[in-house]
Amino acid sequence: MTADGDCINPELTTLSRTPLVAGVPLNLLNTEVMSNDRFYVRNHFPIPKVDAANWSLPVSGEVDTPLNISYQDLKELPRHEVLALLECAGNSRAGIQPPIEGLLWDHGGVGTAGWAGVSLCTVLERAGLRSTAKEVLIEGCDEGEERGASGKLNYAMSLPMEKALHPDTLLAYEMNGEPLPGEHGFPLRAVVPGWFGMTSVKWIKSIQVLDHAFVGYHQTSYYVFVPEGATGDRPNERVTSLRVKSLISHPVRGQYVTAGRVTIEGMAWSGNGPIDKVEISTDDGKSWQEAQISPSPSPYAWQPWKYTWEANSPGNYLVRSRATDLKGDTQPVQTLWNFRGFANNAIHVVPVIVQPMP
- In angstroms, what is the C-alpha Rg of the chain? 21
**Per-residue confidence band for 138, with pLDDT thresholds at 50, 70 and 90:** very high
Using pLDDT thresholds of 50, 70 and 90, give the confidence band for residue 233: confident
Start-end ranges of CATH 3.90.420.10 in the chain? 50-84+110-238
- Which residues have CB under 8 Å from 203's CB, separation 6+? 47, 48, 50, 140, 141, 142, 185, 186, 187, 188, 189
pLDDT at 232 over 90: no
CATH no., domain 50-84+110-238: 3.90.420.10
Distance separating alpha carbons of residues 299 and 116, to the nearest angstrom: 16
- 3-state secondary structure at position 125: helix
Q: Are strands 315-325 and 303-311 parallel, antiparallel or unpaired?
A: unpaired
Mean pLDDT throughout 286-301?
96
φ and ψ of 28, to 5 deg: -95, -10
Residue pLDDT, tens place only, 297-331: 999 999 999 999 999 999 999 999 999 999 999 99
Question: Residue 8: which pLDDT band, with cuts at 50, 70 and 90?
Answer: confident
Choose among 211, 215, 76: nearest CA to 149.
215
Residue 143 burial (CB count, 10 A): 16
Looking at this protein, which amino acid is placed at residue 337? W
Cα dihedral across residues 330, 332, 338, 342: positive or negative:
positive
- State the span(s) of the chain assigned CATH 2.60.40.650: 245-355
Q: What is the dihedral of CA 216, 218, 223, 225, to 10 degrees?
A: 50
Q: Look at residue 222 and tell me whether its pLDDT is greater than 80.
A: yes
Question: How far apart, in whole angstroms, are the C-alpha atoms of residue 283 and residue 113?
Answer: 35
- Mention every residue, 6+ apart, whose C-beta is less than 8 A from residue 271: 194, 195, 241, 242, 243, 244
Taking the C-alpha atoms of residue 296 and residue 14, their distance in angstroms, rounded to an integer, is 30
Domain 245-355: give its CATH architecture.
Answer: Sandwich (2.60)
Residue 6: per-residue pLDDT: 52
Tell me which residue of 114, 125, 115, 117 sits closest to 76, measured CA to CA: 117
pTM: 0.96
Mean pLDDT of all residues in the chain?
95
